[in-house]
Amino acid sequence: MKIKKSFLVGFASLLIMSTALAGCGGSKNNGATETGKPSETAASPDSDSGPNIAGDFEVQYCVGGYGDAWQKSIIAQFKEKYPDVNIKESAGPKINDQMKPRWIQGDPPDLVFIDCAGGLDVLQAIKDNQLMDLTEWFSTATNADGESIKASLIAQPQVYDGKIYSIPYVFGSWGTFYDQALFKQNNWEVPTDFESFLAVSEKIKASGISPYIHAGAYPGYLEGGLLFPAIVSNNGNDPSILQDMAAMKPDVFKSEAVMKALQQVVIMRDRGFIDKAAIALNHTDSQIQFVQHKAAFVPNGLWVENEMKNDTPAGFEFGMIPSITQQPGGKYVANPYSSPVAIAQKAKNPEAAKAFIQFMYTKKSAVEWAELTGAILNVKADLDGTKASSLSVSASKYYSSPDLVVLPAVSFNADLQKEIDNATLALTDNKITPEQWVDRVEKASVKASSKK
Amino acid sequence: MTAKRTRTLFIASFILPTLILYCIFTLYPILRALYISLFDWSGSSENMDYVGLGNFREMFADPIIYKAIGNDYFLVFWKVIGIMLLATFFAVALTRFKMRGAQFYRVVFFFPNVLSIVVIAVLWRFIYNPSFGLLNGILSFVLQRKVEIPWLGDSDYSIWALLPPAIWAGIGFFMILLIAAIKSIPLPLYESAEIDGATQWKQFVHITLPLIWEQVRVSVVLIVISSLNGSFAIVNVMTEGGPDNSTQVLGYYLYQMGFKQYHMGYASAIGVLILIVSLLTTVILQRLMKREVVEVS
């Protein structure tokens, strides 16, 4: 009896599910017409010279690592200049998730700072027509002090199909970090190219320290700090290859520059310079190993000094090399990391949004940003005497040097990025060859680009 | 007439609230997921392109899906074996033998159940840490040389490394379930078996196991269902499906596709697949483990 009952219960649950499945066939059409309904046309975003900045204006920003002091201050100053504007701040640590339904429903804020977890994926948002085309406006836009915004930026905006939809506002940079004190103490030379990097790594290894560690759980660190600059170095310092990679141009991953860069990784791997444990570490773990002198170099970003403030032993002096893969005498390659700001395609007050962008890209607000967050705003400004971290200040001087190639902001299709991550990790772990890396990534690129 | 109506009303008053909640929180999401699975949708805009069964076609051509199903069943298989063997062993040991401190051990074995799976996963991440983790520490001590195996980072070990925390987290609950079942077996059965000269092993095979079979069956089904749906948390915290998809499971792949790679339609199709896989597995399992229940009078 009991057996039959239990089987019956199982069968009944299957039945319920199958009726559920059958039922949804009917609901399909209704739903389709409902969501497929053409949305109301957005207000025309043209005519940018209208001086009348007034009305409701909504800004979305997350309160994350940089806090919200800068936004609060800039918004207050903006309000002072344009008293007729009624500003609504949609902000908080989880604001990206909270605002998502509004982006889906086509009721976005006017201006959005894209940062923090769950933030808008710029490529996807462009595909979905959610961001305003700023190309024309940006080419001539001036900031509140009358200077060209374009000329004042450290890193230029990413170009998608010849158009600009977002402007980077945070300027961070990937690079290879080391402890200047440790190097002085051991008489190790700071590498200036790949050969000297290999030579000093040999010495470091002989002393019992791992030469190079990275965050295997997040391969983006290794790519940002090592692989992508290496590809550009091997491409005769021409960064357009990165843009071609992001644009998924056919055969770009099969190019010689990519292969040479991968081989540099393989050389490091085969000589035992990459810490074997790195592959299982997240960024915090790898940084702890680094500040504890278990490893000498780590690919990371300018934020690392602030991030490790509480765990760094006394006497540790952060140093940064923009890139380590160039040939002797070659230029350094700096790979910037940025968070962009954008205007929604359906912004109800695009004029105010543009005015706000003009207002925030000034030297004065760059200094204010540095003082309030310790990081660098994407505006060339003299930061001497400000409260930006010393590493940031010294690095910011690098970026105006002519011996440095600053890469454009580039972001990859999410599927392609995932495959690059997986293949790169497998390469460092000796699971695949550079040829297999190229094969896998090229395939992923073809697949992703075929989807619209 | 009125009596019958009152009865119907009475029954409805009990069933309706549950039915309404079931429809809102179970049926509707299932229907909605099925509907979304027919679209190409990023999950963050109002643009939804109808693609019919396109997502399902793509899914069946996606090698990672097969890898994820394989990993799901790998985890299910070893979790069932590991949890059931250990839970049964501990349950029998703590009830059939006079052990000192049995109560204490019960608490100890049950303890992981009190912890959230996220806490357990984080704890085991530390144990597995290649540089300062407990496991490599013990191995280094035993082998008298420095061991730095990246347990979670090497695709050769990673999926195996997920098993100990998953099993450890599951033993306590099923041990308690089986202890309760064993305690309900009348003692005279064992006494007469002992008089007849049956060994402990024979007593276990011929008395204990048949009489707790119903609970064993329920336990296995529960482990299978919870594993197919619940590997997500442990994978998310410990490996994020990596390295190189070596620990990818359907639940985590769904999350990754939907919320990290912006393919909400595809993710919904994976959701439908999980529903079908779970249902089929449960039904097949129920049939396989069908067995006459021994009634004790």
Query: Taking the CB of residue A13, how many other CB atoms lie within 10 A of it?
Result: 13
CB A383 within 8 A of CB A370: yes
Residue A52, Cβ density class (10 Å: 0-12 exposed, 13-18 middle, ≥19 buried): exposed
Q: In this structure, what token pair is assigned to residue A51? A: 């001086």
Contacts of A277 in chain B (CB under 8 A): 130-131, 148, 150, 153
Cα A49 from Cα A351, distance rounded (Å):
8
Q: Is residue A290's pLDDT more than 60?
A: yes
| Cα dihedral A257/A261/A262/A264 (nearest 10) | 140
Q: ω into residue B243 within 30 of 0, thus cis?
A: yes
- What residues does each domain of chain A span? 55-169+338-380, 172-337+410-450
Place of tokens 């730095």: B148
Residue in B153, B290, B293 nearest the CB of A279: B153
Residues A256 and A237: their CA atoms lie apart, in Å, by 13
What is the bridge-based pairing of β-strands A295-301 and A210-212?
parallel
Topology of the domain comprising A55-169+338-380: D-Maltodextrin-Binding Protein; domain 2 (3.40.190)
The CATH superfamily assigned to B59-289 is: MetI-like (1.10.3720.10)
Buried b (16+ CB within 10 A) or exposed e, B59-97: beeeebbebbbebbbbbbebbbebbbebbbebbbebbbe
Homologous superfamily in CATH for domain A172-337+410-450: Periplasmic binding protein-like II (3.40.190.10)
In the structure, what pLDDT confidence band is assigned to residue A38 with cuts at 50, 70 and 90? very low
B255 contacts chain A (CB < 8 A)? no
Query: In whole angstroms, what is the distance from residue A291 CA to residue A316 CA?
Result: 7
Q: Where are the domains of chain B?
A: 59-289
Which of A293 and A42 is assigned the larger pLDDT? A293
Q: Report the residue of B28, B37, B40, B45 to disrupt the A interface, i.e. the one with the largest count of A CBs within 10 Å.
A: B45
Q: For B89-143, how does the pLDDT look when each residue is reduced to its tens digit (9 = 90+)?
A: 999 998 888 778 888 888 888 888 888 889 999 999 999 998 889 999 999 999 9
Distance from CA of B62 to the nearest CA of A (A): 11
Contacts of A103 in chain B (CB under 8 A): 44-45
* Contact check, Cβ <8 Å, B131/A285: yes
Instruction: Render pLDDT for A348-403 as a digit per residue (tens, 0 to 9).
Output: 999 999 999 999 999 999 999 988 887 889 998 888 777 777 787 777 767 767 77
- pLDDT tens profile A196-249: 999 999 999 999 999 999 999 999 999 999 999 999 999 999 999 999 999 999
Here the tokens at position B192 are: 């007469």
The domains spanning A55-169+338-380 and A172-337+410-450 adopt the same CATH topology: yes
Distance CA B225, CA B279 (A): 9
Cβ separation A105–B287 shorter than 8 A: no
A3 contacts in chain B (CB < 8 Å): 290-293
pLDDT at A403: 79
DSSP, collapsed to helix, strand or coil, labels residue A357 as helix
pLDDT tops 60 at residue A300: yes
The torsion defined by the Cα of B277, B282, B283 and B288, in degrees rounded to 10, comes to 120
Q: What is the pLDDT of residue B291?
A: 66
Give yes or no for B294 touching A (CB within 8 A): no
Q: How far is B66 from chain A (nearest CA, A)?
A: 17
Q: Model pTM greater than 0.90?
A: no
Tell me whether B242 touches chain A (CB under 8 Å). Answer: yes
The answer to whether the beta carbons of residues A387 and A220 sit under 8 Å apart is: no
Please state the ipTM of this predicted complex: 0.84
Query: CA of A345: which chain B residue's CA is closest?
Result: B45
Which residues does residue A298 pair with via DSSP β-bridges, in sequence order? A177
How do the pLDDT tens digits run along chain B, 297 residues long? 588 899 999 999 999 999 999 999 999 999 999 999 999 998 888 889 999 999 999 999 999 999 999 999 999 999 999 999 999 999 999 888 877 888 888 888 888 888 888 999 999 999 999 888 999 999 999 999 988 889 998 888 999 999 999 999 989 999 999 999 999 999 999 999 999 999 989 999 999 999 999 899 899 989 998 888 778 999 999 999 979 899 999 999 999 999 888 899 999 999 999 999 989 998 998 888 876 555 555
